[in-house]
Amino acid sequence: MRALLSGIAADLQAYSALAAVLEEQFSAALRHQGPRLVEIVEQLTTAVAVVDARRIERVALAQHLNGPQGTMAQAFALLKPAAREKIEADWLALEALVIECKRLSKRNADLLVEQHGIMQRVLHGEEHTYEPI
């Protein structure tokens, strides 16, 4: 149970940091800072691997505590009321951070795809630009 609770606390910090890196990525993309974007991708890859490993561990711990179909809600139910309320609040905060990071990631991906499309049109022109009438 301690590993489960400490994993959630660690992920709260990790997702807050991940959101900050995603903001940096957006800023670097707006400024066309290629080398910085490469550094940020490395940071993101490492951070995502860490939180994903904790997610896998969290699922295994919940199943260890409550059987093969064990859920986080069942794991939380094993706690005393005060501890359960705190961890449930932390869990909701973590879910909100995950959703925010997904939103930021999609925003960044959309920007990068748009920039790539613009560069392709600038470098290669548009196919229909000089079509005969």
- Per-residue pLDDT tens digits for 35-78: 999 999 999 999 999 999 999 999 999 999 999 999 999 999 99
- Burial level of 98, CB count in 10 A (0-12/13-18/19+)? middle
**106 part of a folded domain:** yes
> CA angle, corner 130, sides to 125 and 133, nearest 5?
155
116 pLDDT more than 90: no
Summarize pLDDT for 91-107 with one digit per residue, the tens: 999 999 999 999 999 99
**133 part of a folded domain:** no
**86 part of a folded domain:** yes
pLDDT range class, residue 117, cuts 50, 70, 90: confident
In the block, which residue shows the tokens 């993101």?
A: 44
**132 part of a folded domain:** no
Containing domain of residue 19, as a range?
2-124
- List the CATH number of the domain containing 36: 1.20.58
**34 part of a folded domain:** yes
pLDDT range class, residue 128, cuts 50, 70, 90: low
130 pLDDT more than 60: no
pTM of the model: 0.85
